[in-house]
Structure 1
């Protein structure tokens, strides 16, 4: 997954390096601090989450508070914490830029305080979160983005959608879709009940596409990772209930989409 990057000010952390006392002690000490705690949202007796935030950067980010597997809970929260910390460092870098930049946005939080972080789906097996907004700390234009990611709460780590969906594969940056999957997506788009309009962006699927789960039980095929000129299309797409996905699902998908009580 790509992380949102503030134009003109980055986190200062090389890609692939975890923020820790061992690897990045200065940055770790800047962000490893007590957080404001939002109200716990209880999904089930063994599943819950809450929003937390650094009072300095002012945007909320989710954490799991309950899960039937303590190991999975710890793995998920470590990934969420890293993403939260990275964004906080970017915001703080823009704040500190006031000492070396004449850009009018230097000294601000780079609009990270307007970032929208949404938990769109949570079960004992899947957690989908979306980072979206328009951070900027100088440069030609803001980083308009809509970046969903899904955590695998069965195995730990980020979800590999190829476990669930036929004809889906991806490397570190490139995603590939079989002709059958492309036809399925395009048929889903043309079968929507909503009328198409002049600003319809679904023609950009699946070339600029991300997958995300949505409550109460849907898979969204949405526009993501697109250039600034078409950023109005970010987040647009089509969502299908789990029941309408049968023709593209692998057998293992049942464990994720229809989990038994754990």
Structure 2
């Protein structure tokens, strides 16, 4: 099957095959599926699967096993008519759609068997699943259908967890689809185009060239990973229609949809061989009491592939203890030693500059008192870069109803904010100082 020979060769050096979580490729009713199964040596075999053309996991629950032969129940979606809930609102006795009966052949890296529906007119189809890859177990991983899926959900937002073929073959294969491509566009000294995963429907940029001929691989690796993590978050919401994943407690939620990721707007604002900036906006709601209304800016260092530390560019980006007044700036070394106790934001001078330059018609008097008072700016100001070496000052992080404060304030050429720049600015913008 596609990718199998390549990836088996890639992971041939992995020790102790048979003790890992395996990812399989197969087909079900003419559609390509990905299946992830635990190993019998680790306990009862459990797993999940998804159709590659839609995404969204389906739980596979343990039934029985004998050696390398095992049976799994495929869970059915949970709603008000098919699920019963206990006094805490949690689903009990989830509905079942089918039973899978499989035998794994460790010499052929293959599982074969059949799937039989559990309805009034059972239908049986043959299954042939070929190993795509395997991965190590995470130290904190729970080998349950929920645990397997929750690991993918965490990859949607957990910056520290690797999203690559070695650590996440199931997810990487799910993300490996052909994108719809938009027209090429110009942005300063770069050209780019938006690409769209046809399953999640929101566009994300990719740089096509820099004017000086610099390679685009590193900047696109950043954009591709962020796009992939957003897709995993959308697929997590799509899967939230099964009791195993929590459906039942929030029967009225957006589970079973894309959580409005298909309405997310991602706009590239700056791209160079050294930095890339973009802004994401929308209203995401999969579970919980409130949607996530947001306008969030991102800037990454292309060489390191990590989010840019604004203090490396702006000397006026300073630490404060949580709850501290605007004029209570902390020691940078103390903040570095205990980062969870501090947040970084604009200095008193930069706050004054921002307030003096906000267009007078951007907020009415009532909103201005909430959105752009000095404390609000200290805690919610963010910075990204715009074409022609400009800086955009923006507010983000205001929750719920007050999220109306979020958004761009104004842009200014870097030449006009030199008094707020640090020596590191020259590393990203040569000649600026």
TM-score, L = length of structure 2: 0.51
* 8 Å CA contact 1:131, 1:148 repeated in 2: yes
Q: Deviations over 1:28-80 (max 9, x none)?
A: 21112211111122447x7321111110000000111223332xx22221221
Segments of 5+ residues of structure 1 without an aligned counterpart are 1-8
SS at match of 1:56: coil
Taking the TM superposition and a 5 Å limit, the aligned residue runs for 1:185-196 are 185-195=351-361
Structure 1 residue aligned with 2:172: 28
Larger Rg: 2
Q: Distance in 1 between matches of 2:272 and 2:224?
A: 19
Q: Distance in 2 between matches of 1:158 and 1:104?
A: 32
Match of 2:348 among 156, 160, 182: 182
* 8 Å CA contact 2:222, 2:302 repeated in 1: no
Structure with the largest fraction of strand: 2
Structure 1 residue aligned with 2:198: 55
Number of residue pairs matched by the alignment: 247
Match of 1:121 among 247, 261, 270: 270
* 8 Å CA contact 1:47, 1:124 repeated in 2: no
TM-score, L = length of structure 1: 0.81
* 8 Å CA contact 1:128, 1:148 repeated in 2: yes
Taking the TM superposition and a 5 Å limit, the aligned residue runs for 1:1-262 are 11-14=152-155, 15=158, 16-43=160-187, 47-67=190-210, 68-70=213-215, 73-100=216-243, 101=247, 102-153=251-302, 157-168=306-317, 174-177=342-345, 181-195=347-361, 197-198=364-365, 199-200=367-368, 201-203=371-373, 204-257=376-429
Q: Distance in 1 between matches of 2:303 and 2:233?
A: 31
Change (3 A) 1:109 1:219: same
The alpha carbon displacement at 1:169 in A equals 5.0
SS at match of 1:132: strand
SS at match of 1:75: helix
Change (3 A) 1:244 1:95: same
Q: Distance in 2 between matches of 1:106 and 1:184?
A: 43
* 8 Å CA contact 2:218, 2:303 repeated in 1: no
Segments of 5+ residues of structure 2 without an aligned counterpart are 1-148, 320-335
